[in-house]
């Protein structure tokens, strides 16, 4: 039975092709059609369990037998779709981890205006930007009950 994995990215389609070869030892073909990349692979045809000897002599198919057979096929297709989705989710998890763990060539987390100014100076663009320390203005009054006005701004 042939199955197809479709991706908009050629790199992802090639990764899936390599993965299915390594994981299940299946050869797959990669083809491009309508700006999408299709990885086609074949797996063994689904063979439901053989009927017992008493059922083998029946010349007709019962409705329950047909429903059972269709249910088994649906489960078979669902398992293959789940296999493909699990691969996609593992790729997304890998990309997420790589994104959050990536530090090389990027600034460390900066907290505070002084550290930001130092970082800009190290990058050589300190003269192009003006870093302003945030100023907190608070005004309190006791007229007609207690009230507090807070204004947080970066401008002096």
> Per-domain residue ranges for the chain?
2-49+58-101, 113-153
For residue 116, what pLDDT is reported? 86
Is there a contact between 55 and 69 (Cβ–Cβ < 8 Å)? no
Collapsing DSSP states into helix, strand and coil, what is residue 4? strand
pLDDT tens column, 86-130: 999 999 999 888 887 766 666 666 788 888 888 888 888 888 888
Nearest to 11 by CA among 34, 37, 48, 35: 37
Dihedral sign of CA atoms 78, 84, 90, 93 in order: negative
Please state, in angstroms and rounded to a whole number, the distance separating the CA atoms of residues 4 and 79: 14
Q: Please write the tens of the pLDDT for every residue from 5-56.
A: 999 999 999 999 999 999 988 999 999 999 999 999 988 766 666 555 455 5
**Rounded alpha-carbon distances, angstroms, from residue 117 to 43, 103, 120:** 60, 20, 5
* 133 or 35, greater pLDDT: 35
109 and 119 Cβ atoms separated by less than 8 Å = no
């Amino acid at each position: 039975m042939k199955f197809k994995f479709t991706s908009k990215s050629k790199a992802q389609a090639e990764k899936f092709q390599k993965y299915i070869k390594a994981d299940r030892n299946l050869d797959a073909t990669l083809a491009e059609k309508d700006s999408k990349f299709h990885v086609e692979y074949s797996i063994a045809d689904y063979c439901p369990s053989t009927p017992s000897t008493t059922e083998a002599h029946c010349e007709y198919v019962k409705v329950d037998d047909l429903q059972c057979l269709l249910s088994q096929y649906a489960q078979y297709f669902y398992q293959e779709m789940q296999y493909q989705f699990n691969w996609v989710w593992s790729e997304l998890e890998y990309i997420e981890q790589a994104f959050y763990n990536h530090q090389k060539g990027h600034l460390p987390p900066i907290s505070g205006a002084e550290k930001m100014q130092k970082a800009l100076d190290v990058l050589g663009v300190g003269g192009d930007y003006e870093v302003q320390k945030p100023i907190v203005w608070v005004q309190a009054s006791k007229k007609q009950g207690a009230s507090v006005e807070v204004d947080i701004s970066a401008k002096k």
